[in-house]
Amino acid sequence: MMVLPMSTAPQPPAQIARYHEAVTPLGMVALLVDYSHGGQDQYFDGAKLGFFDADGKLGPLRRVTEPGPWNNALIPLSDEHFLVPGDQSPMRISRVAGPVVGIRFHAILSANCARVRR
């Protein structure tokens, strides 16, 4: 059984942490933690991403999305990157690389346009 560090626990205003793991074809393992709070109405407080080392220890978590969309998936790509999609309008997609490179791009999609930041 793996015990995650306290750094993955929700911090106010977040009350809930959801964990999503993914492995690339070459074996890079990442953990996405998305945070939320609320009752009947849910508010999404952003997400953080960390990478596991060869010994199975989780490295530092880095914020990959700001509050707004629900980041409900971590999708591994064949080039050792991951996609972090967000589900609300405007839709957001972040492409992240390994622990050294960081966020490669962040796209914000809406009904009228797409904006990409590198």
Question: Percent of the chain at pLDDT above 70?
Answer: 80
Tell me the pLDDT of the chain averaged across its residues.
Answer: 81
In terms of C-beta distances under 8 Å and separation of at least 24 residues, what long-range contacts does 98-104 make, across chains too?
A: 98/28, 98/51, 99/51, 99/59, 102/62, 103/64
- Look at residue 106 in the predicted model and tell me its pLDDT: 47
Listed residue (90, 92, 116, 113) closest to 104, CA to CA: 116
In the prediction, which pLDDT does 80 show? 82
Cβ contacts of 89 within 8 Å, gap of 6 or more:
110, 111
Cis preceding-peptide flag for 99 (omega within 30 of 0): no
pLDDT score at 98: 74
Range of the domain at 17: 6-117
Tally of structural domains, the chain: 1
pTM of the complete model: 0.81
pLDDT at position 30: 93
Higher model confidence: residue 100 or residue 28?
Answer: 28
Write down the residue that tokens 């966020």 correspond to: 103
- Structure-model confidence comparison of residues 118 and 58, the more confident one: 58
Residue 1 belongs to a domain = no
First to last CA, the chain: 38
